[in-house]
């Protein structure tokens, strides 16, 4: 008997070497590489997780080459089946296959493919099957022991839904910032922009006033010990007029700009008034309103 087993084992063809499968993969013969890797993974005595790497890589390459999602689904099945069976040499090897399964699932979801899954067994229900009624010869009348109950007054319609006073506030609702209407936000933004523009104009007026004062001082310093020329007199009058005008303008710009900015802040931070909620339901004589 032992001799027969030895003869049978010597007659079996050896599994394909990993070098042959890798060479076929590098030459672009992906179908042949997949076949050789599968034969190697199915051979006895071969560490399946290590041999199935080639099967998985070949299926991924076939999907990239042909675009057939069946190869991608098969790669996902290989990873999922191996993780279900186990038999890993180390935790690091198992973690690598977990990562491969997650990548395959992400690719399947990205392309929107639906891979076939094994059918699940139907869950038995606790409800018994309906039994057929047993035919009787004559129906038995039910004796009436009292007056029949008469129907009450018909409802006039669905009751109004509870308003904001009846409903329980959501957790953390008091901590939320109050809602601001869109029109109020726009108005506050416009007022704030106008106020900031006026304040910028005030700063410009102060700078030009100082420039006019400097020009006037330079003319006075240059004419010491002599009479002013006609050009110096005209320049001095122009600088003096600008100084007086700008000196009276910047306080007005400052006041109006500050009022605009303060008004915009007040409009934005003013508390919102809760709007009333009116509901109507059908009634016998018309509509019934509730607030």
pLDDT for position 276 = 45
Residue identified by tokens 């003869």 is 7
pLDDT for position 271 = 74
- Quick one: CA dihedral 238, 241, 243, 246, positive or negative? negative
pLDDT for position 67 = 87
pLDDT for position 122 = 41
| Residue 78, token pair as written in the block | 């290989």
The number of angstroms, rounded, from the C-alpha of 99 to the middle of its chain's C-alpha atoms is 25
pLDDT for position 196 = 93
pLDDT for position 194 = 93
pLDDT for position 176 = 52
Q: What is the mean pLDDT of each run of 10 residues along the chain (291 residues)?
A: 40 65 86 88 85 89 89 89 88 91 89 67 43 48 46 47 48 53 85 92 92 88 80 87 91 92 87 53 50 47
pLDDT for position 182 = 80
- Is residue 291 a contact partner of residue 162, using CB atoms and an 8 Å limit? no
pLDDT for position 13 = 54
| Residue 247, token pair as written in the block | 């000196």
| Residue 4, token pair as written in the block | 């027969």
The Cα 68–Cα 245 span in angstroms is 82
């Amino acid at each position: 008997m032992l001799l027969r087993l030895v003869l049978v084992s010597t007659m079996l063809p050896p599994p394909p070497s990993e070098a042959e499968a890798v060479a076929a993969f590098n030459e672009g013969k992906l179908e042949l590489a997949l076949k050789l890797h599968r034969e190697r993974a199915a051979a006895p005595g071969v560490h399946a997780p290590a041999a199935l790497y080639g099967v998985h890589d070949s299926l991924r390459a076939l999907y990239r080459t042909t675009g057939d999602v069946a190869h991608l689904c098969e790669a996902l099945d290989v990873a999922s089946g191996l993780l279900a069976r186990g038999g890993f040499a180390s935790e690091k090897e198992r973690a690598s296959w977990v990562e491969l399964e997650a990548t395959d699932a992400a690719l399947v979801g990205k392309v929107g493919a639906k891979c076939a899954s094994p059918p699940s067994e139907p869950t038995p229900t606790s409800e018994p099957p309906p039994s057929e009624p047993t035919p009787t010869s004559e129906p038995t009348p039910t004796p009436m022991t009292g007056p029949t109950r008469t129907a009450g007054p018909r409802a006039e319609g669905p009751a109004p839904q509870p308003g904001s006073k009846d409903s329980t506030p959501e957790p953390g609702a008091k901590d939320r910032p109050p809602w601001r209407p869109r029109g109020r936000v726009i108005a506050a933004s416009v007022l704030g922009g106008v106020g900031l523009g006026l304040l910028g104009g005030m700063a410009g007026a102060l700078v030009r006033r100082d420039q006019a004062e400097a020009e006037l001082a330079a003319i006075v310093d240059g004419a010491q010990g002599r009479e002013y020329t006609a050009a110096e007199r005209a320049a001095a009058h122009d600088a003096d007029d600008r100084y007086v005008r700008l000196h009276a303008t910047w306080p007005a710009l400052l006041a109006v700009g500050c009022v605009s900015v303060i008004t915009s802040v007040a409009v934005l931070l003013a508390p919102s008034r809760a709007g009333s909620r009116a509901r109507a339901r059908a009634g016998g004589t018309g509509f019934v309103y509730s607030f």
